[in-house]
């Protein structure tokens, strides 16, 4: 008598007498058997409730055993299939093995032989499944390790960004403030937690490429020459190159690093992306970055007041900035006087008029 948790087995044969013989044998071994008189009926039963073991005759009217085997392997690859053949059909049986049947039994068969073949086939199936889940587990562990290594590398880069900013009184706290502004804007826009995390990461690392920019140019007190400006504006490309290998799984965060100086009207750097070609995550960070840059002292200009910076954002809506991102920024910080803007402990040597167009962040 089969146990409640007995393995289910489907016996397929157009001859009821042969089906009964196999069913009786398998039930004696503890299987819970179901029967089908044709390939079509067998497939219908598999669709209703797949079974782990199928024993099928090869020669049947309508759908032969080979077609049935192909269908089962295609849709239920974890099912063990044993084909029953006439002795004269051994070639077909071999073809079935090549198609994925686990074994075959030649008629007339001994019940002991069928019993042994079934047990062997199930052992083989168990080993295949165990082997696969072992490899899946291994693959999962490798991926987890790779992710952890990437996280550790990113954590180091975040620490490096903070260290570099701390060294420079003009940019101290910039990446953290940009991160705070950008995540507040992202929340205001109703973006998902996953996108908000991406924005936070990209915002924090957006200027990492400045590592590759000459400090003399970066801290030049006066107006930049054209070539100095171009040199500084290489930092998004340098940043994307540094982070590329570490952010393969986070392309939007990488886009923030590469494209945070793009403008909606296509006049930005480094790719001249226009409108929707600039991902929303980037457009959010651009507003946050520009606001913090404007309200921070730079060696070449004083800080703009919060009110003036807001005006700049509003005036450049649609040209430089995404209007929705600007609106969300204003909505996220209704009390402008409470904004945690930069409080630099330095004063610029020269105070040329604010150079909003040649904004260096």
Residue ranges of alpha helices (H) inside the chain are: 16-28, 39-48, 65-75, 90-99, 111-167, 174-188, 193-205, 215-218, 226-232, 235-243, 251-259, 280-294, 306-315, 323-332
Q: What is the C-alpha to C-alpha distance for residues 273 and 271, in angstroms, rounded to an integer?
A: 5
Q: Report 235-254 residues binding Fe ion (CB under 5 A).
A: none
Give the binding range for Fe ion (CB under 5 A) out of 7-15, 56-64, 80-88, 204-212: 204-212
Q: Considering beta carbons, is residue 52 or 252 the nearer one to Fe ion?
A: 252
CB of 49 to Fe ion, least distance (A): 59
Residues in binding contact with Fe ion, number by CB under 5 A: 2
Q: How far apart are CA 326 and CA 338, in angstroms?
A: 18
Task: Please give the residues from 342 up to 361 whose contact with Fe ion meets the rule CB under 5 A.
Answer: 361
Give the one residue of 207, 262, 281, 312 binding Fe ion; rule: CB under 5 A. 207
Q: Provide the minimum distance between the beta carbon of 209 and Fe ion in the complex, in angstroms, as a whole number.
A: 8
Supply the minimum distance, in Å, between the C-beta of residue 207 and Fe ion: 4
**What is the Cα–Cα distance from 324 to 287, expressed in whole angstroms?**
10
Work out whether 89 is an interface residue with Fe ion (CB under 5 A).
no
Cα of 29 vs its chain's centroid, Å: 46
Q: How far is the CB of 361 from Fe ion (least distance, A)?
A: 4
**Residue 7, CA atoms < 13 Å, CB-side half-sphere:** 16
**C-beta of 175: minimal distance to Fe ion in Å?**
10
Q: Which span sits near Fe ion by CB under 5 A: 31-39, 150-158, 179-187, 205-213?
A: 205-213
* 165 near Fe ion (CB under 5 A): no
Q: Does residue 12 contact residue 57 with C-beta atoms inside 8 Å?
A: yes
Tell me which long-range contacts 266-270 makes (C-beta under 8 A, separation of at least 24).
268/320, 269/233, 269/236, 270/233, 270/234, 270/236, 270/237
Minimum CB–partner distance for residue 235 and Fe ion (Å): 6
Q: Which residues bind Fe ion (CB under 5 A)?
A: 207, 361
């Amino acid at each position: 008598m089969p146990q409640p948790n007995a393995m289910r087995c489907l016996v397929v044969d157009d001859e009821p007498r042969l089906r009964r013989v196999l069913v009786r044998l398998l039930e004696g071994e503890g299987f819970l058997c179901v029967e089908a008189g044709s390939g079509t009926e067998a497939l219908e039963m598999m669709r209703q409730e797949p079974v782990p073991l199928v024993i099928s005759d090869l020669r049947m009217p309508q759908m032969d055993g080979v077609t049935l085997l192909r269908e089962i392997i295609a849709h239920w690859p974890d099912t063990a299939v044993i084909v029953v053949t006439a002795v004269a059909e051994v070639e077909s049986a071999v073809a079935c093995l090549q198609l994925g049947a686990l074994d075959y039994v030649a008629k007339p068969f001994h019940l002991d032989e069928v019993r042994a073949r079934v047990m062997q086939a199930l052992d083989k199936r168990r080993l295949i499944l165990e082997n696969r889940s072992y490899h899946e587990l291994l693959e999962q562990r490798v991926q987890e390790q790779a992710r952890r290594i990437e996280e550790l590398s990113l954590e180091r880069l975040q620490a490096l960004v903070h260290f570099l900013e701390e060294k420079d009184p003009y940019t101290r706290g910039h990446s953290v403030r940009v991160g705070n502004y950008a995540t507040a804007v992202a929340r205001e826009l109703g973006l998902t937690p996953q996108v908000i995390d991406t924005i936070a990461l990209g915002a924090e690392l957006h200027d990492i490429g400045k590592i590759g920019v000459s400090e003399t140019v970066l801290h030049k007190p006066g107006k930049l020459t054209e070539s100095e400006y171009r040199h500084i504006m290489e930092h998004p490309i340098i940043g994307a190159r540094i982070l590329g290998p570490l952010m393969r799984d986070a392309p939007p965060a990488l886009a923030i690093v590469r494209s945070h100086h793009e403008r909606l009207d296509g006049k930005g750097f480094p790719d001249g992306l226009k409108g929707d070609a600039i991902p929303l995550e980037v457009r959010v960070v651009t507003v946050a970055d520009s606001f913090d840059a404007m309200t921070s002292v730079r060696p070449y200009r004083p800080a703009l007041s919060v009110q003036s910076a807001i005006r700049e954002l509003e005036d450049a809506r649609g040209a430089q900035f995404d209007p929705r991102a600007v609106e969300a920024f204003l909505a996220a910080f209704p009390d402008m006087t409470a904004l945690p803007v930069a409080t630099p402990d330095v004063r610029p040597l020269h105070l040329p008029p604010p150079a909003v167009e040649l904004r260096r962040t």
